[in-house]
Structure 1
């Protein structure tokens, strides 16, 4: 047994970046209520999402939580960006769909190899571009509940992006980011530790897969407020980037053993390979190495720094996003090996 969870929690507590329990609980409840309100109208057909969740082994409360978290965090970023109150519900709906789409996409790619092949045939970079432009009709069903729900979710998300605004520069940035995320997802599933080295290219691919998605929520706010104050727009983008880096850190710490067993790369495994030395044999041994070699402590301190930087932005432009994100990080702490 390692002390990874207590180590990371102690570093964050010492840095003063943990929400008090009552505030954390309130933020989580607010996100859940937002998700529960959205589920019946997320795609117009709640049964489509429910059937997909059942086929993936995902409980309905998880659907609600993921949608609600996407709504809540997008709302916080929209407030940072200065998005008008009239546009925020539209922005948040798109953000909630995106958050759920990322989770379903990762789940299919990581755990269902045959379905991942079907997904990659149906959802391609060209598919994303055409639907973002509105030049392609809704896709035909594949017969797989999860693939069909995810395809419908992506199509609806891109349609809502078109409705948020027509700023060509912001649409181009959003399209570029979607493409980068798609490529990174494909690269990460294909790149194995036994046939690659811990190169900068591997690191960048990991970052695009894990750290970039949350910045998409900030992009949605910018679509809806193209004439907003430059400082506020910059605060939203900076917060998205910092949050993306933070979630990358804590997510990969939580999944060390699973990533090792699957033969893939992650942040701590990349750092461990760069240190040289003996190769751990089992997932439990690799976890022990990450703690004993100081990698876990260094990652915890990087995580604390990102949260402190988010709080500094919040001091100037509002705390809704950082509090939502702190609650997210604290939920991830519960997933760390104890």
Structure 2
């Protein structure tokens, strides 16, 4: 009840302020698009030359997946304030939703002309080139974005796609790794890892842990030893956390070292010891071991690979 009253009070304050630049973002953030249309349309009737009011009505219609209704308002905002790169950019988004791709691209290019550092315009222009298979042009746009925003996830991911499109394989592999270094979770990480694995690079691997798909950095060891490196220990920390949350989860640790079964056994034991040392509540029986003095055979898509040294995780939920 208190939360409801607080929202009402906030809405009253915003209405009293009568300012589209304050009220407009509020309705977007609250996802109250229809109410936003009602309020901002009223403001626009009272002040037909108010560009922000027209802009936000257009944004609300876009959020409701009604680009045909959004576009006239966005175009009006541009007419009222032609120097606004944001207003021009969002007309491009409306054109995209209406599948008018030539006008979409023209809008992004115009927005960039107004503001050469407009990240979203460069990003979406890159997406348009990628959709057309114009990978070199797409790559240029993604690299501009990354100069402005080095950790932009969409640009990092799609830069790797663009590099694949122009057959720069070594650069593509490095780009997938760069993306995964910053964003190792989620569906994009799963796809990035699969693309990396298709090149025979298993720095990261996808695993089914219980009922979840999880991307983990692969374990690496100091040569000839059972001491995992720091990046590998981070993956073990993720697994340990999942086991603490789900007490029914069992993780089978499976180690492979071609031609050296004793070392494979030592590595399996070292992995289990590390996980148990920091997790006294995890029972040893939940971390069974297997080890083999052979390579691990891995299938990725229609390709098969033999990994001379690896550690895999096979899980079950009791």
Q: TM-score range, shorter-chain basis?
A: under 0.3
TM-score (norm 1): 0.25
Larger-Rg structure: 2
- Report 1 or 2 for greater relative contact order, CA contacts < 8 Å, sequence distance ≥ 6: 1
Structure in which a larger fraction of residues adopt helix: 1
Structure in which a larger fraction of residues adopt strand: 2
